[in-house]
Structure 1
């Protein structure tokens, strides 16, 4: 195919969902002669052979200064960058393609305000950092250079259409894909799941719910903990991911008197043992453009209880056997769904597993690869 793509990425962390998808895109297109030149603040992962990284790390203190310094550094590099076209996951008017992996920033702020204290709502509305981000978003969507926007879910496409209707013709949905077989719940996986439970002191018959993702505010961990408190005392919640305010969420578990049933595992390179140990994924995200953990959970054979503002869940949850959707702040709704999962019999569990695995087949890396190749070939 012979394409050289400039990719602008804010910061690469190996444990992030967006980063895992980016890596899978690199791998999926590696044999199709697609070369990437990545401009980023920091690269923290393994460097594939078809990827060259340019780190843009000007000195800065504070996130607003850091953002502005990063943008100025990007603009300098873009003036001399030799690529076929520039794709960005950062809002910039100097790009040809925008990949909206984070959805719409204005929509994220709207959803975030619903769960915030009054002072935090005021600060996020009038603080300089978010004003800069909103201005950048508006300038990019108004840019004459912008030719296409890759939306990773139908939900994101609809959010962009609603806020930036002039861009409707530029929008294309290409949903993320995973290595479905990597998460298959075979006999070995089931044994690993049992061992994981045992390591955490959880009995084989106890209902186990799982939250996966860093940035606990966005992922709705507060709602998950509150819902656990409404469950029978044998139920457990495993939380995989990192957050600078983890101590705050540990205190929340203590306030709800579920600290002995809430397991904070930190960041993990391999989350499969926790999927295989769990009965369901709980994902009350305030706003999640896609949510790769939804696809990973279903490939692992477990249903998903998620928010209505999670793109992948809206596409993949297709009836009670695959999960349920609620408002991200509906603690009672999440608790009811979790209780229903805990009360299933063996036949219901088997039907749910088969339904989830069937849905996951539509979200393979190979399907994503085909759609991306078609898109890039047509874009040229």
Structure 2
């Protein structure tokens, strides 16, 4: 990646449009990523946010509500958003930065696995032919693939940003033409005041309605299934009764997973908190984060928890991008198979029974997080903006 432009020597102030259908801190990691960059860069550049749902206010940022005449099916809304945002920003901006599957934008940040990869990875011969038949008979898949192909097509100044090194080879395999434009800009954090005092932990638990005593594990994720909550509940059933679980994320899944908790006789030990605008109190209230995800290109929640000095138990690099940066037993405990509730219960049991392990992981987590602060991440993003502007100015 090119070196960041020194903060005191910017060539000029840029007019930047940012696309994100949901611009709210409760939307998930991708949304918090885009929000943090907007906040960091708004004092230095003119930032305009284009979104269908806006729950954010920041000095110096201009917000543009994009209509949503048809929310479902989602692929039609995606086409609508791509078209409407293109029309609104086809001129007048130095940089268009998209966090969505749209064809318009010099900077395209990729937060999830490419649709093409998910559809065709590992399929050969008849299986690949059958998959193509499925695609050509599905307007939804054709729309997503068409948008994706246009999104990553080479253009003057185009920068394709992935959020982890583990996502880079996947992008290169799915869209080889994007290779020269690829860069990695990971999520970042703003370090809280550490250590978390006993009084702060107590106040956070009271604020969230969590038990004052006992060990509190934390799960944060909007897609409870993909992030492995069911396996975590089954592991919790094997742990001592004083261990409780706080679940933060999309309230739409609560009824289904509360039923699973009740079937495991965990009703009094699991606290569904729904989506929180500020997850900070949940990190302060918890004793460890558990993230047995099946698929995460980075997992921003893990970094946020580490910034709060929490020991983290997280799926290994095969499943989770940030795990490739972590060291087993030094700053995290990595799971070989997040679907194995028995393995998860054993790892959590070791964590709970070994105070020295918890303390070492806490120190290692905070030291790791220190290297990923938003002010440095924003400089990397800013350098890509100026690189794109310079490339667009070159004779074709």
**Residue in structure 2 matched with residue 362 of structure 1 by the alignment:** 371
In 2, distance between residues paired with 1:216 and 1:35? Answer: 37
Tell me, what secondary structure is at the counterpart of 1:86? strand
1:229 to 198, 216, 237: 237
Contact conserved, 1:215 with 1:243, CA < 8 A, in 2?
no
1:21 to 33, 38, 44: 33
In 1, distance between residues paired with 2:193 and 2:154? Answer: 41
- Cα displacement (A) at 1:358: 0.7
- Cα displacement (A) at 1:86: 1.6
Q: How does 1:218-257 map to 2 (within 5 A)?
A: 218-257=226-265
In 1, distance between residues paired with 2:387 and 2:156? Answer: 17
**Residue in structure 1 matched with residue 43 of structure 2 by the alignment:** 31
Tell me, what secondary structure is at the counterpart of 1:169? helix
**1:226 to 1:105, Cα distance in 2 relative to 1, 3 A:** farther
With the length of structure 1 as denominator, give the TM-score of the two structures: 0.86
Range moving further from structure 2, 244-253 or 136-145: 136-145
**Residue in structure 2 matched with residue 310 of structure 1 by the alignment:** 320
Q: How does 1:320-335 map to 2 (within 5 A)?
A: 320-326=329-335, 327-335=337-345
In 2, distance between residues paired with 1:299 and 1:92? Answer: 33
1:3 to 5, 14, 33: 14
Q: How does 1:11-90 map to 2 (within 5 A)?
A: 11-16=22-27, 17-32=29-44, 34-46=45-57, 48-62=58-72, 63-79=74-90, 81-90=91-100
Tell me, what secondary structure is at the counterpart of 1:328? coil
1:116-147 superposed Cα distances (whole Å, 9 cap, x missing partner): xxxxxxxx987643442233213322354572
**Residue in structure 1 matched with residue 153 of structure 2 by the alignment:** 142
- Find out whether 1:94 has 2:104 as its counterpart: yes
**1:14 to 1:271, Cα distance in 2 relative to 1, 3 A:** closer
Contact conserved, 1:210 with 1:237, CA < 8 A, in 2?
yes
- Cα displacement (A) at 1:178: 1.1
- Cα displacement (A) at 1:203: 5.6
- Find out whether 1:287 has 2:320 as its counterpart: no
1:185 to 162, 181, 195: 195
- Cα displacement (A) at 1:2: 0.7
1:252-292 superposed Cα distances (whole Å, 9 cap, x missing partner): 11122212111111122232232223221111222222222
Q: Whose helix fraction is larger, Structure 1's or Structure 2's?
A: 1
Contact conserved, 1:13 with 1:19, CA < 8 A, in 2?
yes
1:308-362 superposed Cα distances (whole Å, 9 cap, x missing partner): 32222332x21213222223323222222111111112x3332222111111110
2:172 to 161, 178, 188: 161
In 1, distance between residues paired with 2:366 and 2:279? Answer: 17
State the aligned residue count: 360
Tell me, what secondary structure is at the counterpart of 1:142? coil
In 2, distance between residues paired with 1:228 and 1:86? Answer: 45
In 1, distance between residues paired with 2:144 and 2:231? Answer: 27
In 2, distance between residues paired with 1:155 and 1:186? Answer: 32
In 1, distance between residues paired with 2:300 and 2:244? Answer: 23
**Residue in structure 1 matched with residue 130 of structure 2 by the alignment:** none
Any unmatched runs of 5+ in structure 2?
1-11, 122-133, 390-396
Contact conserved, 1:185 with 1:276, CA < 8 A, in 2?
no
Tell me, what secondary structure is at the counterpart of 1:217? coil
